[in-house]
Amino acid sequence: MNIRTLSNLLLKTYKTPPLIQICGFKHFPAPPSYDHIKMPDRTKLTIIEKVPQYPPGLRPPKMQKRLRYMRGAETLHNFLLYKQYGIVALTGGRLKWIHFEMMRLAIGRAMDTQRMFALWRVDAPWQPVTKRGQGQRLGGGKGAIDHYVTPIKAGRVILELGGKCEYAEVQDFLHKVAMKLPFKAMAVSHQMLEKIRLKEEEDERNNVNPYTMKYVIQNNMGGCHRWLSPFDLKWFCKHT
């Protein structure tokens, strides 16, 4: 006689339902399967060169600031290739070589190389930044190259981490690394990125206020074109 038959029989016999206890009955869900994950040959982050290598005889070119490389939203590298975990930039900024080394050493110490892997999603420092010596007179042309940087836009995936692991295992040290970057960043998983994207689409679809920032700027309400920057006219006061 099973438990359900016994309980029905007792309910017919007694007016009030009796207390039935099942001692020692436990149900644990099966652990997740990682059979579909293939580990690459190199599991750690590669070493990034401090200075780009130019052909022999070529003088390293100098460059303007070109802040447009950091402004706006990233439209290409804004998703996770392996659909697991990573670090995403929330605002624009620049990465120096010392930031690459900080991320490589911190993640290399914390991750388990037997069942985890990490890879870069950004290029090595390539944009030259010039600097004049302190106390020098103005003039004399552009200064010498001091260091190289990598410009980052908002929404850019900086690195990915995956393997046979859960997000709770890697969240702590990914968050610490993200907090040390020179711009706002956060540790994310593939599910988190999908929730953020769906939330933005839902908010835009269910918005009942017709006077959105895009509508106000496109119709020049209040003469806002007099004090808005060209980037506000393009991004509608986002990613500033």
The pair of structure tokens assigned to 42 is: 């190199």
What DSSP character marks residue 73? Answer: B
Q: What's the CATH code of the domain at 78?
A: 3.90.1170.10
Could you tell me which of 61, 200, 68 has the C-alpha nearest to residue 130?
A: 61
The pair of structure tokens assigned to 26 is: 């436990």
Give the confidence band of 11 by pLDDT, cuts at 50, 70, 90. low
Q: Is the pLDDT of residue 139 over 70?
A: yes
Q: Regarding predicted confidence, which is higher, 145 or 40?
A: 145
**Tell me, what's the pLDDT at 3?**
59
Give the domain range for residue 101. Answer: 36-52+62-131+142-192
In this predicted model, what pLDDT tens digit does every residue of 178-236 receive, in sequence order?
Answer: 999 999 999 999 999 999 999 999 999 999 999 999 999 999 999 999 999 998 999 99
What is the side-by-side order of every strand in the sheet holding 116-120?
116-120, 157-163, 85-89, 185-189
Could you tell me which of 183, 163, 166 has the C-alpha nearest to residue 99?
A: 183
Residue 218 in any domain: the answer is no
In this predicted model, what pLDDT tens digit does every residue of 18-36 receive, in sequence order?
Answer: 555 556 667 778 888 888 8
Q: How many domains does the chain have?
A: 1
What DSSP character marks residue 164? Answer: S
In this predicted model, what pLDDT tens digit does every residue of 101-123 receive, in sequence order?
Answer: 999 999 999 999 999 999 999 99
Residue 154 in any domain: the answer is yes
Cα atoms in the 13 Å half-sphere on the side-chain side of 121: 23
